[in-house]
Amino acid sequence: MDGWRLLVVGATGVIGAEVAVSAAARGARVAVAGRDPVRLDRVERRVGAGRGQVFDAYDLERCRDLPARAARGLGGLDAVLVAIGAVAFGRAGEVPLAVQEHLMAVNASAPVAVLEGALGVISPGGAIGALTGVIVERPVPGTAAYRASKAALAAWLDSVRAEHRRDGLTVLDARLPHLDTGFAERSLAGTPPPLPPGADLGPWVSAVLDGLLHGAGVLRPDGTHANPVSVPATPGPANPRGGIR
């Protein structure tokens, strides 16, 4: 990844921070954006980035402008990864409408705005991508609102991949398995259903970066890449029975 210019949006989260740090360790020049300025400052120091961008998922114009700002700072942009997310639990009709609206804003509208902004600045042959999760692949009772928001993002990625099939743009949908990050315990509402043991984070971070770098379309929770050009071996074991992310 030497010289690759990457923007990680959501770098103050557990997964986003590790993606940024791992990319920098592999030689990429990394720009970071996140919601929490204190945590963003810590990540900046770890990756040697310049001043990061603070944003709010409800400010869609700001979200759309993140890639252009990063490109100005890096002298161009080769890839953008969105790693933001929120979760809530409850059967259909149980999750408050305000929480459902928040899930759609954070899990779908904001990532789409960021990636739409990226389309105008990404270098030819570059990559965009987002984390959706295993939840897109299979229904889990008590996750209807959460799954709907992530499925909306997955559908957008699928459509954009088809629109750009001929121009060499990689559009990665990273459907990661349930990971040991504490994400489910930070739910906005409800109680998590029984979950399998979380998979190790490190190998999946590497798999996401490999997918962006080598032209993968979908990174599946069993570790396989759909539509890859050339992707290394699958990451560590994941429980195929399900999970949240």
**44, two tokens:** 């900046």
User: What integer pLDDT is reported at residue 2 of this predicted model?
Assistant: 83
User: What integer pLDDT is reported at residue 182 of this predicted model?
Assistant: 79
User: What integer pLDDT is reported at residue 221 of this predicted model?
Assistant: 87
User: What integer pLDDT is reported at residue 169 of this predicted model?
Assistant: 96
Q: What is the pTM of this model?
A: 0.90
List, for residues 107-153, the tens digit of each pLDDT value. Answer: 999 999 999 999 999 988 999 999 999 999 988 899 999 999 999 99
DSSP string, 4-46: -EEEEETTTSHHHHHHHHHHHHTT-EEEEEES-HHHHHHHHHH
**106, two tokens:** 């954070």
Least confident interval from 3-12, 178-187, 213-222: 178-187
Q: In what order do the strands lie in the sheet with 29-34?
A: 53-54, 29-34, 5-9, 77-82, 122-131, 170-174, 218-219, 225-226
The stretch 188-193 carries a mean pLDDT of 88
Q: Which amino acid is residue 111, in one-letter code?
A: P
User: What integer pLDDT is reported at residue 231 of this predicted model?
Assistant: 41
